[in-house]
Amino acid sequence: MTDATSLDIRFTQFLLEAQALKFGEFTLKSGRKSPYFINAGAFNDGTKIATLGAFYAEKIAAEIEAGRLPKDIDTVFGPAYKGIPLAVSTAIALVSAHGTEIGYTFDRKEKKDHGDGGMMVGTQLKDGMKVLLVDDVMTAGTAVREVIPKLKAEADVEVVGLVLSVDRMEKTKDSDTSAVRAVEAEFGFPVFAIANVREIFEAGQHIAAASGEPYVTPEIKAAADAYLAQYGA
């Protein structure tokens, strides 16, 4: 297994090289104006999505080894649409790099009443299955709250966890608790991230110092610190 101690640095380097980590002013789904943004649309070719899936698989394998995720996960579920390539690339990387055979599943936006039919594509959900969710970035946890009822309507599955690319570490609108901790408390499963936003900015400064590239300038870091002072949990 790849050394997980440098996972946040390697992942941040990948985000920067893929131009998925953007700096500026971005209005989030929550309405907050953020000085940074993780653009999942930047993973737009085979190499990038394969690399991203490998990072997810590495994180999942590490959490299985640590005993925080079960070894007998039946399928990786990615909510449509952004979660679809995540689920597929993660399942491929788990079997190719870690020898873990696992299914993948994603939902349709609308139920199909012809052909194979139904709401789910890929490994079909059955009672008792262990399902691992994958998603890109969590700010408020809205996507999780939308997808859990869909899963439960399909079968009596056990959701064993959620793996994100980035935890923005932001508190919810109604509390000082982060969205990640709120989801864990509400649904009772653990949430993991390949890296959180503080790790990414620390790694970005390390990478900038080592490479001489102005990835994370003092101005960018100051704007991020100010944002997290207001919204961070």
Residue numbers annotated as active site: 112, 114
Q: Which two tokens stand for residue 209?
A: 């110092």
User: How many CB atoms lie under 10 A from the CB of residue 161?
Assistant: 22
At residue 34's C-alpha, the angle toward residues 25 and 44, to 5°, is: 75
Q: How far apart are CA 27 and CA 46, in angstroms?
A: 29
DSSP 232: B
Q: Which two tokens stand for residue 147?
A: 């997808």
Q: 82 among the known binding-site residues?
A: yes
Q: Is there a binding annotation on residue 161?
A: no
122 within 8 A of 92, measured Cβ to Cβ: no
Q: Where do runs of H (alpha helix) occur along 66-155? A: 83-98, 142-154
Tell me the C-alpha to C-alpha distance, in Å, between residue 205 and each of 23, 69, 128, 137.
14, 31, 45, 21
74 labeled binding residue: no
Establish whether 137 is an annotated binding residue: yes
Peptide linkage before 81 cis (omega within 30 of 0)? yes
CB 104 within 8 A of CB 120: no
Strands (DSSP E) found in 39-145: 75-78, 103-112, 118-122, 130-138
Q: How far is 166 from 25, CA to CA, in rounded Å?
A: 18
Say which residue the tokens 């209005």 belong to.
Answer: 27
Tell me if 193 is assigned to a ligand binding site: no
The answer to whether 10 is annotated as binding is: no
Residue 168 assigned ligand-binding role: yes
**Is 136 one of the annotated binding-site residues?**
yes
Is residue 176 annotated as involved in ligand binding? Answer: no
Task: Determine if residue 138 is labeled as part of a ligand binding site.
Answer: yes
Is 98 annotated as belonging to a binding site?
A: no
Binding-site positions read 29, 81-82, 108-109, 112, 114, 135-143, 168
Q: Indicate the annotated binding residues for orotate.
A: 139, 168
Annotated binding-site ranges for 5-phospho-alpha-D-ribose 1-diphosphate: 29, 81-82, 108-109, 112, 114, 135-143
